[in-house]
Chain A
Amino acid sequence: MKRSFTVVIMLAASLALSVSLAVAETIKVGAILAVTGPASFLGGPEARTLEMLAEELNAKGGINGNKIELVIKDSGGNPEKAISFAKQLIEEEKVFAIIGPSTSGETLKIKQICEAGKTILLSCAAAEQIVEPVAKYVFKTPQKDSHVVHAIFENMKSAKISKVAVLASNTGFGQAGKGQIEKQAPEYGIRVLATEVYDSKATDLSAIVAKLAANKEIQAVINWSVEPAQAIVLKNIRQAGWNVPIYQSHGFGNIKYVQAAGAAAEGVIFPAGRLLIADKLADKHPQKAVLTSYTKNYEAKFKEEVSTFGGHGYDAFKILCRGIEVAGTNREKVRDAIENLKGFVGTAGVFNFSPTDHNGLGTDSVTMLTVKGGNFVEYKK
């Protein structure tokens, strides 16, 4: 009697198991992020955001019953590692899509690999070349460099600044930004009087600051980097008693750098998405709800301030989920769905993808911020 009872239980259990298998499948999503290494302030928040979102989603029962399984690989910001992880994820793990990499250099290295492997790539990196020329399977969530530079130059025009010095770090991000600045400057009637590139691990830049400060024609400094050097350069400029307006890239969107630069960060102007000023947005702003809920959940879970970089991971994950929600679990159909996604509200802005635009963000996704009393606030003249 007892034995047959066990058999029945086992049968029932296996039946239940096979039923659930038939209805729902687990979707494997790969992520290549710089969780450690020099770009860890990008990859760290991105990885934490993805883990949080996947946990939330699976607790709610997944997308139409399909659970998401995350496979996060730590590239350390190293393009060579990114390449081997991309191959591994596509060929061995056979993932549905890949989120990341965190940096532009890595993304550009694996763009063709994902294209050849017909695997959707949702990059969290900024460089323009990721989506230009458009690759069928490659998308990206952060604002384009060109939009960011556009926002800076518009701001300079209204402040009547026409002669600038450019400082950039010797990374993919720094070089891409420097290239955009040099390309767009003539259109706005802005002259770049000096361009200097420093090592991403620089610990003091007072010598180069002295050289630039001696040129009295320079009206403003633009610094393009994502490393601690962007805080060091602020201190060095202010310590030299040089009171020029300082513009930073969107890489400054992490409150830790403001804290690191302390009093020297006051008044720095930089372009960013609206995530950093979520609590100060008007209630009717289309992004308000998304931004405040992400900020609240992230800060409650990880006890650290939210940064725009985690937001790029958030957008990538949510866009993929929307694609699966609309088109099911067929990869080609999901790709088509993402390509035709319109009016999707994310942390970076409102995404309107099209076959010719795999970024989907407009110039209005960038706003100018400044630092006041150690906090990010919207820049107002």
Chain B
Amino acid sequence: MTLELFSQYLLAGVTYGIIYAIVGIGFNIIYNTTGIINFAQGEFVMLGGMTAISLTQWLPLPLAIGAAVVVVMLIGALVEILFIRWLDRPSVLRMIIITIGISILIREAALHIWGDGVRSLPYFAGNEITTIQVLGARVSPQVLWVIGVCAVMVLALSLFFKYTLQGKKMQACAANRMAATLCGISTKNMVTLSFMLSAGIGALAGCVMSPITYTQYDIGTGLAIKGFTVAILGGLGSSMAAVTAGLLLGLIEAFSVSVVPLAFQDAIAITLLLAILFFRPHGLFGSKDAAGLKEF
């Protein structure tokens, strides 16, 4: 393998991986406060892209993206208030079924609003064929945007959880809901906040990746599966772990095409997921003891 080909695979892997990671992070936030997996996470990504694309008709690109993130955060809050909030100590299984239902609902609504066509935001810099040279390989500047946004997001999230009162409250809910309630934290509000946060992150991800992957009403499912794989692979709950696992999965997928036919690419991801679930159910970077204390 020449150096050029190697770096081309490397960059392709990073592109895949960072997209998976950015979706995986969204799973983690809701998991952290509620202990459930929100299977509608992929739909938040789709909604973000779609809303921003519609808004670019009236607003300049950065404003459209900002507005789309706000709109999707509101939708996230609405989803939580309408479907989750009034449940009295629901079981994990029930929550999963509910979120799957919500994902179908959002998807069908999107089909009616935006139709079945493929849409995308314009490239933030240059156009479809603009590339820059990195390590002798070529890469679209949009990939750098995705990497940058992902990095800022992870940093902002860890600062938020570490240094702000709201962040600490959310963590308290995750650690022990009863104790948090006794301390005067409104756990229900924290859950709403976590839905808003993950919806916002999903929406932002949907916007930055839209020029690369395109946005279609049913793109959420595929992204959610990969994001879920990554979240599990890294060990649920940690954003950094999701990023590392995402990059790992992306690189494995990219380099796999050099030895096996492309058709097996997805099989590799699923095999990996199954292997992890069998041998390290708490994920590559998760702690076994911590996982043991959780319901799911």
CB <8 Å contact, A257 and B118? yes
Q: A210 with B12: in contact, given A198-B262, A241-B138, A263-B128 (CB under 8 Å)?
A: yes
Chain B 113-132 near chain A by CB (<8 Å), digits 1 or 0: 00111111000000111110
Chain B 58-102 near chain A by CB (<8 Å), digits 1 or 0: 000000000000000000000000000000000000000000000
CB <8 Å contact, B262 and A208? yes
B261 surroundings in chain A (CB, below 8 A)? 196-197
CB <8 Å contact, A196 and B213? no
A213 surroundings in chain B (CB, below 8 A)? 8
Name the CB-closest residue of B to A38: B218
Determine if A207 is an interface residue (Cβ-Cβ < 8 Å).
yes
CB <8 Å contact, A239 and B257? no
Determine if A214 is an interface residue (Cβ-Cβ < 8 Å).
yes
Q: A262 with B8: in contact, given A38-B218, A207-B257 (CB under 8 Å)?
A: no
Checking A207, A231, A240 against B254 with a beta-carbon cut-off of 8 angstroms, the contacting residue is A207
Instruction: Give A256 to B12 CA distance when docked, in angstroms.
Output: 26
Checking B15, B127, B258 against A204 with a beta-carbon cut-off of 8 angstroms, the contacting residue is B15
Q: A204 with B266: in contact, given A232-B213, A260-B214 (CB under 8 Å)?
A: no
CB <8 Å contact, B116 and A44? yes
Determine if A40 is an interface residue (Cβ-Cβ < 8 Å).
yes
B118 surroundings in chain A (CB, below 8 A)? 41, 228, 231, 256-257, 260
Instruction: Give A19 to B62 CA distance when docked, in angstroms.
Output: 67
Determine if A211 is an interface residue (Cβ-Cβ < 8 Å).
yes
Determine if A363 is an interface residue (Cβ-Cβ < 8 Å).
no
Checking A37, A41, A238, A264 against B117 with a beta-carbon cut-off of 8 angstroms, the contacting residue is A41
| Min CB gap B155→A, angstroms | 25
Name the CB-closest residue of A to B267: A199
Chain A 152-185 near chain B by CB (<8 Å), digits 1 or 0: 0000000000000000001000000000000000
Question: Which one of A203, A213, A231, A263 has the highest number of Cβ atoms from chain B below 10 Å of its Cβ?
Answer: A203
| Min CB gap A310→B, angstroms | 13
CB <8 Å contact, A196 and B262? yes
The A interface is mostly helix, strand or loop, or mixed, namely helix
B254 surroundings in chain A (CB, below 8 A)? 206-207
B292 surroundings in chain A (CB, below 8 A)? none
CB <8 Å contact, B214 and A211? no
Instruction: Give A201 to B118 CA distance when docked, in angstroms.
Output: 12
Determine if B228 is an interface residue (Cβ-Cβ < 8 Å).
no
Instruction: Give A196 to B262 CA distance when docked, in angstroms.
Output: 6
Q: A206 with B129: in contact, given A198-B263, A228-B216, A239-B139 (CB under 8 Å)?
A: no
A58 surroundings in chain B (CB, below 8 A)? none
| Min CB gap A244→B, angstroms | 14
Name the CB-closest residue of A to B255: A207
Determine if A235 is an interface residue (Cβ-Cβ < 8 Å).
yes
Instruction: Give A208 to B214 CA distance when docked, in angstroms.
Output: 19
Can you name 8 A-B residue pairings with CB atoms under 8 Å? A36-B111, A44-B116, A203-B219, A204-B212, A206-B11, A207-B255, A232-B213, A239-B138
Known A196-B261, A214-B5, A231-B118; further 10 A-B contacts with Cβ < 8 A:
A196-B263, A203-B223, A204-B16, A204-B212, A207-B16, A210-B5, A234-B128, A239-B131, A239-B138, A241-B131
B residues sitting closer than 8 Å to A (CB atoms) are 2, 5, 8-9, 11-13, 15-16, 19, 111, 115-120, 127-131, 137-140, 212-214, 216, 218-219, 222-223, 253-255, 257-258, 261-263, 265-266
